[in-house]
């Protein structure tokens, strides 16, 4: 069960990172859309919540 949860949260983290890369690309080439600032915000939240959650999980498992 724990392993399954780890996979899910790793996936969320990867999605956040990919969103961040896409947004950085858009910033450099054509920042023209409100949509991308929303995506950036969501990506950052996913990454940060993922990191905090994993820290809590690691503490519980020790």
Report pLDDT for 45: 81
Instruction: Provide the total of helices (H) and of strands (E) in the chain, helices listed first.
Output: 2, 0
Domain boundaries, the chain: 17-57
The two structure tokens encoding residue 14: 């990867």
The terminus-to-terminus CA distance of the chain in angstroms comes to 16
Q: What does the alpha-carbon distance between residue 24 and residue 36 come to, in Å, rounded to a whole number?
A: 10
Give tens-digit pLDDT for 32-49: 666 767 777 777 787 787
Question: Tens digit of pLDDT for each residue in 22-32?
Answer: 877 777 766 66
The mean pLDDT value of the chain amounts to 75
Residue 51's nearest CA partner among 10, 22, 15 is: 10
């Amino acid at each position: 069960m724990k392993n399954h949860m780890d996979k899910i949260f790793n996936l969320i983290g990867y999605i956040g990172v990919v969103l961040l890369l896409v947004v950085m690309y858009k910033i450099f080439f054509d920042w023209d859309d409100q949509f991308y600032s929303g995506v950036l915000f969501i990506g950052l939240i996913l990454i940060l919540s993922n990191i905090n959650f994993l820290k809590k999980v690691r503490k519980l498992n020790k």
